[in-house]
């Protein structure tokens, strides 16, 4: 069925109606229709010269290409990935499958194999996966340890230029918070600023009890914020990615942002430990995060994989943060890929359909599904400060078309037969063959 649709789209030219589409209401703007019980709008969408020209109630257009009630989404926005370490699994597996094993394996691989060519080949592979799956924008964290960080950032400045017009790439530094406390902090922040990046770090803080903080922690945070302020940088932080009850990095980040009246955007990722903390403590933290205007991104597949893993023991919790409570508090929440085929997550393909499908199952983003689709488009676009992830008149006609009509049809299958439109034209792209990467791994298969 999708082949016929694909053929019709190829012949449609530059001005045509996409008829009888179902669009998630939270991913549309200016739509003259009311959502149904599944939060879907029935629309006809006018495409003209690569842009969305108009939205009309389904049945308005007299001719055009019919989706026969299939869903139509805006191109996906993936706001938290790690393209620099993606796909190294065949040569550097995670022996234990847990966080410590991941850190150890990646550190070894980075030291042994991350030449500019190696990084570029793996990242380009990952971007071609994302493109074929319908993604239009990707934010990637980059392991930033000096002096090697200069190589990685150069590779990604080049990739960003090479991919312009296909995938908008944003880069973020990641290194432990204490690295920013010394003279390296200035050099790293300068590198990020000169590269047009976002300043990021990772904090895994365990105080053991909620009111105990290492004495140098808040000063280090203040120093980190000051580095960003001096350069006008936004922040993107890995926060409390653990099941430690005493972790309170998230709260301290919100408090520092409030105290300093930080003017940039701040995205925080993971925040896993919030889900294992006492209700009152979690509620108070969420209130401060909302007050500080932090954007939160949950990485459900990676969290489910790494958190609560112990040999011979069945995991008891899902690893994800309190996304429902955060959204209810008015926080801008997203879901994203995180790692792909590396020691932090052995699977994945930068496919936001998979991410949203798994997020729905892991986080119960259903019954009712109201508004959650925004977490794969509008919300991450807002966190990244870009205009994408929404179907509205005037927006680029970067769209993903599905055969699936209702949400159970959409969530039941991988939607591998989806059609990606870029600027109103069918995109000829399939995910690359994993065999392409064989030369990087001496033929090893992961």
Please state the closest distance from residue 299 (CB atom) to Zn ion, in A: 6
Q: Which is nearer to Zn ion, 338 or 398 (CB)?
A: 338
Q: Which is nearer to Zn ion, 176 or 387 (CB)?
A: 176
Q: Which is nearer to Zn ion, 44 or 342 (CB)?
A: 342
Is the Cα torsion angle 38, 39, 43, 49 positive or negative in sign? negative
Please name which of 378, 372, 221, 193 lies closest in space to residue 292, comparing C-alpha atoms.
221
Cβ(340)–Cβ(81) under 8 Å?
yes
The distance from CA 151 to its chain's CA centroid, rounded to whole angstroms, is: 24
Please state the closest distance from residue 82 (CB atom) to Zn ion, in A: 6
Neighbours of 218 (CB within 10 A): 14
Q: Which is nearer to Zn ion, 78 or 338 (CB)?
A: 338
DSSP string, 234-272: -EEEEE--S--TT--HHHHHHHHHHHHT--S-EEEEE-G
**Cα distances (angstroms) measured from residue 73 to each of 1, 77, 381, 391:** 18, 11, 14, 7
**Spatial separation of the C-alpha atoms in residues 83 and 86, rounded to whole Å:** 5
Q: Rounded to the nearest 10 degrees, what angle do helices 217-231 and 183-194 cross at?
A: 30
Q: Which residue of this chain has its Cβ atom nearest to Zn ion in the complex?
A: 338
Q: Which is nearer to Zn ion, 338 or 342 (CB)?
A: 338
Please state the closest distance from residue 204 (CB atom) to Zn ion, in A: 12
241 catalytic? Reply is yes
Please state the closest distance from residue 81 (CB atom) to Zn ion, in A: 8
Pairing of β 135-143 and β 168-174: parallel
Indicate which residue of 29, 63, 222, 241 is catalytic.
241
Cβ(421)–Cβ(401) under 8 Å?
yes
Q: Which is nearer to Zn ion, 238 or 422 (CB)?
A: 238
State the SS3 of 298-347: ECHHHHHHHCCCECCECCCCCCCCCHHHHHHCCCEEEECCECCCECCECC
Q: Which is nearer to Zn ion, 270 or 405 (CB)?
A: 270
List all residues 6 or more positions away from 222 whose beta carbon is below 8 Å from its beta carbon.
256, 260
The region that residue 165 occupies, defined by phi over 0 for left and psi between -120 and 50 for alpha, beta otherwise, is: left
Please state the closest distance from residue 106 (CB atom) to Zn ion, in A: 11
Binding positions for Zn ion, rule: CB under 5 A: 338
Sheet bearing 15-24, strands edge to edge = 51-57, 40-48, 15-24, 65-66
Helix (H, G, I), strand (E, B) or coil at 414: coil
Helix (H, G, I), strand (E, B) or coil at 19: strand
Helix (H, G, I), strand (E, B) or coil at 369: coil
Which residues have a catalytic role annotated? 241
């Amino acid at each position: 069925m999708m082949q016929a649709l694909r053929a019709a789209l190829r012949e449609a030219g530059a001005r045509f109606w996409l008829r009888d589409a179902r669009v998630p209401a939270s991913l549309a703007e200016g739509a003259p229709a009311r959502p149904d019980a599944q939060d879907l709008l029935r629309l006809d969408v006018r495409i003209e010269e690569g842009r969305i020209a108009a939205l009309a109630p389904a049945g308005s257009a007299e001719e055009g290409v019919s989706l026969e009630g299939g869903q139509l989404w805006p191109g996906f926005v993936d706001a938290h990935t790690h393209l620099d370490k993606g796909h190294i699994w065949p040569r550097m597996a995670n022996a234990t499958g847990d966080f410590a094993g991941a850190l150890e394996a990646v550190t070894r691989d980075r030291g042994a194999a991350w030449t500019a060519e190696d990084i570029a080949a793996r990242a380009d592979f990952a971007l071609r996966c994302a493109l074929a799956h319908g993604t239009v924008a990707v934010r990637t964290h980059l392991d930033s340890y000096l002096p090697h960080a200069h190589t990685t950032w150069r590779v990604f400045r080049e990739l960003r230029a090479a991919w312009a017009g296909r995938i908008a790439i944003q880069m973020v530094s990641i290194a432990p918070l204490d690295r920013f406390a010394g003279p390296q902090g200035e050099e790293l922040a300068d590198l990020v600023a000169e590269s047009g990046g976002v300043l990021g770090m990772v904090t895994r803080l365990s105080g053991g009890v909620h009111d105990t903080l290492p004495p140098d922690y808040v000063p280090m945070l203040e120093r980190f914020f000051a580095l960003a302020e001096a350069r006008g940088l936004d922040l993107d932080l890995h926060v409390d990615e653990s099941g430690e009850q005493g972790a309170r990095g998230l709260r301290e980040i919100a408090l520092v942002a409030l105290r300093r009246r930080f003017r940039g955007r701040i995205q925080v990722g993971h925040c896993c430990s919030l889900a294992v903390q006492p209700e009152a403590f979690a509620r108070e933290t969420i209130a401060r995060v909302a007050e500080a205007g932090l954007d939160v991104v949950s990485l459900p597949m990676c969290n489910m994989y790494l958190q609560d893993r112990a040999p011979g023991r069945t995991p008891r919790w899902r690893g994800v943060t309190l996304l429902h409570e955060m959204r209810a508090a008015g926080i801008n929440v997203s879901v994203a890929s995180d790692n792909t085929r590396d020691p932090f997550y052995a699977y994945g393909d930068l496919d936001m359909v998979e991410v949203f499908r798994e997020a729905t199952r892991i986080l119960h983003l259903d019954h009712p599904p109201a508004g959650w689709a925004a977490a794969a488009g509008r919300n991450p676009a807002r966190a990244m400060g870009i205009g994408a992830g929404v179907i509205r008149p005037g927006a680029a006609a970067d769209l993903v078309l599905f055969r699936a009509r209702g949400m159970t049809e959409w969530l039941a299958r991988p939607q591998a037969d989806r059609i990606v439109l870029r600027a109103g034209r069918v995109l000829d792209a399939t995910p690359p063959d994993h065999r392409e990467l064989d030369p990087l791994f001496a033929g090893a298969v992961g």
